[in-house]
Amino acid sequence: MNFNAISSGIAPILAPAGIQGAGQPEAAGGGFGKTMSDALETVGALQNTAHASAESFMSGETEEIHKVALDQQKAALSLDLFLQVRNKIVNAYQEIMKMQV
């Protein structure tokens, strides 16, 4: 059986370059706050793109309803993901604060 033909269309999942392992010092100008800020800016950009796409469709500039729907869905999913990550971080912080020293 030839697995090369099957796996040729599958891209490997790689970790982002900015992620640091445990015990490594924080990079200059980076860190958790910057990562969250960048993620929030990305979510905002997707929201703005979705809004512009909807405005363009409603004004009659474009007839591509599928593009509008995809942009809206991307924006909604990115916001949902960001909120879930934020909720997990808040829960982790609360659990750490409950620990007795």
71-80 pLDDT, tens digit each: 999 999 999 9
Nearest to 79 by CA among 31, 43, 38: 43
Question: Taking a C-beta distance cutoff of 8 angstroms, is the pair 46, 74 a contact?
Answer: yes
As a whole number of angstroms, the distance between CA 34 and CA 46 comes to: 18
Domain residue ranges of the chain, discontinuous segments joined by +: 33-101
As a whole number of angstroms, the distance between CA 91 and CA 94 comes to: 5
Summarised one tens digit per residue, pLDDT across range 3-56 is: 555 555 556 556 556 555 545 555 556 788 898 899 999 999 999 999 999 999
